[in-house]
Chain A
């Protein structure tokens, strides 16, 4: 896609997310989304999810990406599933009766219990789901591809949020004066923003590179890098907004909390990083990545 086409796609998606945030999946269908993803995966996925992040979208589009990559019929996805004493618990974002459970590589169709899940991000109405481990049917599907697709989508969404936090903070401190100067004129503030920008750009470069390979290390690295970048952007934004950045009234907390909970899905930044490290130590080799 040309830069102009991507720009147009971005405004189409932004308009869609803003006008009918609860009906995103149906609208994407109308847009011919499946075809676009098949032809231009990088542009389609990064644009949709970056905008979804920037605009704090709450739809279950991540389910769509996972299920489409899996190639199995299901209504929604159970994230972060953990089995203990015969019971599986996890997080449910979407709704439905047939649920894919990536952590167990299976599908659950029987009786499930869902309760509202208190969330660091108070805007989200995710559920805590539990069901007997015995009701999970092991199912053949593209589980690895689905994981990589989820990592790319989440990385894009988190980068979108990280950049927006930084933009908000820079706009604010360019106007806010103390000691006779705009706060953004102080070197200590400027250097924080430069560091956050560098982290965001690094995550974005990894994300884009991850579309050109099947090596899951790059998609894991992209998500890990995005999580870390968002943490840095959050830290510097909160600090430079002053006390206002930690108030309920101000918008910043929505982005801070959203990036944190998205980071937790499908492997948190620190866990993905450690898993890559463990593999390198185990195999004794460091694979050369991202050819030109």
Chain B
């Protein structure tokens, strides 16, 4: 059998799976099997090596357009990449999580920017941060105040962002900020792609309680952004952010379900075979199977229609329940082993990180609100 062409692989997700699995079975990714490091910056740089190897060998270049320097194919290719990495027991590089959410809106709303800038990200040489939240605008994103004011040739940005994942070390940030009046709420927002080394832009790490600088604050003081770096039209930012969040709620959930399945296996291998353990491990398996079934449906919908509705909030809630559920079970079943000693530092660290999973991308309460309003069509909440 002759090897399939790139065009054939791009057109056929099942064929992609075969080729990818063979590549992984050759042991190409084995050097990244245990990637955890206490210093998240070092860890992210380290796993960037896997992203680069995947891309340069062609195997990690599907799921993104040819125009951006990749080999074509769609979001199903990405979903399969995550699935096969998990199956092979390889941790999924952090780059893919951010790429999966920031990449699609760039490709759709700013193909010229994607063409010019996406390649180093796809190759694992750099990663970007997502700067949406503000101290006074968390889940209530429409109340954000960081502002881009039009000047000759572009905009000047002033304000503050917070909770940027992987903000430390990011080479660019995708910024959502105000271009309309404060009263315009979600109608007056715009999105930009900004170099992190632009004068006036400062990134300050935020350490989670596990000691890792997982998040960052980003400060903007008269930061100049050329007009070419605007993603989409002025005041179109909310629509683009909503488009982005579909991927964060859908495809990201699929990515994480593979990671969590793997994590559940690690936990099962460590615990005593008590009745409590059987019950908890069984419950979590049912939950992870449900998340996979649900997010696989969503990935197909995204691939076919390029959009999913407010139902993606169901995926998001299932994911948060599972992320916290797996780490809660680890704490419950491992007991003292969880709390003390060198060996289980990673479980303690991930327990803290898992607390953020029902907050980021719109808190669980905001997701329930979306479901109540737009899926169940209940009468509007009082006082809102």
What residues of chain A have their CB less than 8 Å away from a CB belonging to chain B?
Answer: 170, 174, 181-182, 184-187, 190-191, 193-195, 197-198, 201-203, 205-206, 208-209, 217-218, 221, 224-225, 228, 270, 272-278, 280-282, 284-286, 288-292
Docked complex Cα distance between A218 and B290 (Å): 9
Contacts A190-B372, A278-B278, A281-B271 given: A221-B379 contact, CB under 8 Å?
no
Chain B interface main SS type: helix
Docked complex Cα distance between A221 and B17 (Å): 26
> A273–B282 contact, CB under 8 A?
yes
User: Most chain-B Cβ atoms within 10 A of its Cβ — which of A198, A201, A228, A280?
Assistant: A198
13 examples of A-B residue contacts, CB within 8 angstroms: A185-B378, A186-B381, A190-B376, A191-B369, A198-B314, A202-B290, A273-B283, A273-B286, A277-B280, A288-B83, A288-B258, A289-B292, A292-B13
Chain A residue nearest to B294 (CB atoms) is A205
Contacts A184-B379, A205-B297, A277-B281 given: A217-B289 contact, CB under 8 Å?
yes
Docked complex Cα distance between A280 and B270 (Å): 12
Q: How far is the CB of A202 from chain B (nearest CB, A)?
A: 4
The one of B86, B283, B299, B368 that contacts A288, using a Cβ cutoff of 8 Å: B86
* Complex interface bits, B249-274 against A, C-beta within 8 A gives 1, otherwise 0: 00000000010011011001101010
> B372–A274 contact, CB under 8 A?
no
Q: How far is the CB of B226 from chain A (nearest CB, A)?
A: 40
B280 cross-chain contacts in A, Cβ below 8 A: 277
> B368–A270 contact, CB under 8 A?
no
> B282–A276 contact, CB under 8 A?
yes
> A202–B80 contact, CB under 8 A?
no
- Determine whether B277 belongs to the interface, using a CB cutoff of 8 Å to chain A: yes
> B379–A206 contact, CB under 8 A?
no
> B380–A286 contact, CB under 8 A?
no
Chain B residue nearest to A192 (CB atoms) is B368
Q: How far is the CB of B304 from chain A (nearest CB, A)?
A: 12
* Complex interface bits, B342-384 against A, C-beta within 8 A gives 1, otherwise 0: 0000000000000000000000010111011001101111100
> A185–B290 contact, CB under 8 A?
no
Docked complex Cα distance between A191 and B278 (Å): 30
Q: How far is the CB of A270 from chain B (nearest CB, A)?
A: 7
* Complex interface bits, B275-319 against A, C-beta within 8 A gives 1, otherwise 0: 101111111011101111110110110000000000100100110
